[in-house]
Amino acid sequence: MAVSAEGWSEKEGYGRGREQERHETMQPAAYDELVDLFADSAVAERILTFHPSPAMQARIEELLEKNRQGTLAPEEQAELDEVERLEHFMRLIKARVRQKLGR
């Protein structure tokens, strides 16, 4: 999983390694149901063009830089972990929307 401050896309970002692999292989069926719900074609274009706000992008960059420097506080690590989970969820939704639209 990769967090990208530019927007939650499938391109580049900052990987997390073993935790990423463990989380992605244990994706519960509930994820699929929620992804399908949010991937409804009525809001497809909004979903595909979604990016975090500039303030959120700045916060992600700050957390990533602290992580690279090894200076994240425990609560910041928890925040970064949650951002990564949300980014992964958004990627799943975007992929499902593309699949439904035949893109």
Residues 54-81 have pLDDT tens digits of: 999 999 999 999 999 999 999 999 999 9
Find the domain containing 81 and state its range.
2-7+28-101
pTM beyond cutoff 0.75: no
Q: Which amino acid is present at 24? A: E
Q: Is position 62 within any domain?
A: yes
Distance between CA 55 and CA 40 in Å, rounded?
A: 27
Q: Averaging pLDDT over each range in 24-33, 36-45, 59-68, which range is the top one?
A: 59-68
The mean of the pLDDT values for the chain is 77
Q: Is 22 a domain residue?
A: no
Asked if the structure places residue 61 within a domain, the reply is yes
Work out the average pLDDT over 8-35. Answer: 54
Is residue 8 within 8 A of residue 87, CB to CB? The reply is yes
> What does the alpha-carbon distance between residue 33 and residue 54 come to, in Å, rounded to a whole number?
30
Cα distances (angstroms) measured from residue 100 to each of 24, 36, 79, 85: 22, 10, 32, 23
Question: Residue 40: inside a domain, yes or no?
Answer: yes
Query: What percentage of residues in the chain have a pLDDT greater than 70?
Result: 73
In a domain, 14, yes or no: no
Residue 21 placed within a domain: no
| pLDDT at 16 exceeding the cut of 70 | no
What is the domain count for the chain? 1
Residue 42 lies inside a defined structural domain of this protein: yes
In a domain, 20, yes or no: no
